[in-house]
Structure 1
Amino acid sequence: WVDWSRGPWTLAGVISQPVQYADAEAFDDTSSGHVRLDFARVERKVFGGAVSAYAGRLARSTARYGDVVGQEDRQVYDLRYTGKAGGLDWDLETMAQRGEVGSSDVRAWAAGARGGWTFAGVPWSPRLGLQGDLASGDARKGDGRLGTFNPLYPNAAYFTRAGYTGYANIAHLKPSVTVAPTGKLTVMAALAGQWRRTSADAIYGQPFAAYAGTAGQGGRWTGAYGHLRADYAFNRSLTGTVEAVHFEAGSALRAAGRDDSDYLGVELKYGW
Structure 2
Amino acid sequence: MIIYKPKRKGQATKRKAMVKTGKRPAKKKAARRKRLPLLDSLQTRQNMQRLSVIIPVRDEERTIGKVLKQVVRLRPKEIIVIANGSRDRTIQIATTYNVTCLSYPFPLGHDVGRAIGAKEASGDVLLFLDGDIVIPAERLQRFVKACYLGADISLNNVNRFFNNTARIDAVSMAKSYLNRLLLRPDLGFSSMTAVPHAMKRSVAAWLGYDSLMVPPLAQAKAILQGMRVVQSASVDVLRTNRKRIINQKTNNLVKDLILGDHMEALSFLQSMKSERVFFFDQLRRRHIFGHIGRTAKLASNHFVLPNDV
Question: TM-score when scaled to structure 1?
Answer: 0.25
Structure (1/2) with the larger strand percentage: 1
Bigger radius of gyration among the two: 2
- Does 1 or 2 have the higher relative contact order (CA < 8 Å, sep 6+)? 2
TM-score by length of 2: 0.23
Higher normalized helix content (fraction of residues):
2
